[in-house]
Structure 1
Amino acid sequence: MAEVVRARVDAWTWAVRLFPTRSAAGAACRAGHVRINGERAKPATLVVPGDEVQVRGGERERLVVVQRLLVKRVSAEVARACYLDRSPAPLPREHVAMAGQRDRGAGRPTKRERRDIDRLRGR
């Protein structure tokens, strides 16, 4: 286990298994899906213990507090010890809005249907 004094946010989020690859972590930073202490983070932004890292993407939003710094990917058990998870609990399946399924053979959605779908998805 490689413990360091400072670490890049893309390397740290990958090392503690918040992202499957380091390139995915960097892409999420560039897209604005990673915030440190409420501020948008670039991939090279340094994290220190005590920083609050917010990650959007995937099934839910993750909110973690940095406990220890890593730059090398470690096992899941060791990774969980490196941050304090303050993520909100995921919604129960009953409360999650079901995405509408189109009938087989119905073709592509019309412009109006596309707008309704986008509105449902929150875009």
Structure 2
Amino acid sequence: MRLDRFLWFARIVKTRAIAQGMAASGHLRIDGRAVDKPAALVRIGSVVAFATPSGRVRALRVAMLPQRRGPPEEGRACYDDLLENARSERASVDAADARA
């Protein structure tokens, strides 16, 4: 699936034009390699990394390829947020250490 369509279908960005701009800017990475075109292919298992306008870094593993731009829950099911999972695991370990 094209990168710009995946970002839009999975509801990571609001419009496909924004997704195309992100890809064309060269600030996106797929499996560690820089991408400079919206038509770059994304597959199940690919890791897409980018910085948000707020400066936060996101790393997403593609879990499934969406067939349409559906409701937000359907979009979130298409990827696993790798950094968010790491943050929540670190917080639970820190909480357990604080109790000990």
Q: Residue 38 of structure 2 corresponds to which residue in structure 1?
A: 43
Normalising by the residue count of structure 2, what TM-score does the alignment of the two structures yield?
A: 0.76
Say if 1:83 and 1:12 are closer, same or farther in 2 by CA, change over 3 A. Answer: same
State the AA in 1 paired with 2:66: L
Gaps of 5+ in 1: 1-6, 90-123
5+ long unaligned stretches in structure 2: 88-100
Runs of 4+ in 1 over 3 A off after TM superposition: none
Offset from partner CA, 1:50-79 (integer Å, 9 cap, x none):
000012222222110001012521111111
- Aligned partners of 1:67 and 1:23: how far apart in 2? 23
Structure with max Cα Rg: 1
Q: What is the Cα-based RMSD across aligned positions, in Å?
A: 1.4
Asked if 1:72 corresponds to 2:68, the answer is yes
In the alignment of these two chains, the number of paired residues is 83
Q: TM-score under structure 1 normalisation?
A: 0.63
Residues 1-123 of structure 1: pairs in structure 2 closer than 5 A:
7-41=1-35, 42-59=37-54, 60-88=56-84, 89=87
- 1:8-50 per-residue CA deviation (whole Å, 9 max, x = no partner) reads 0010011111111100000011111211001112200111100
Higher relative helix content: 2
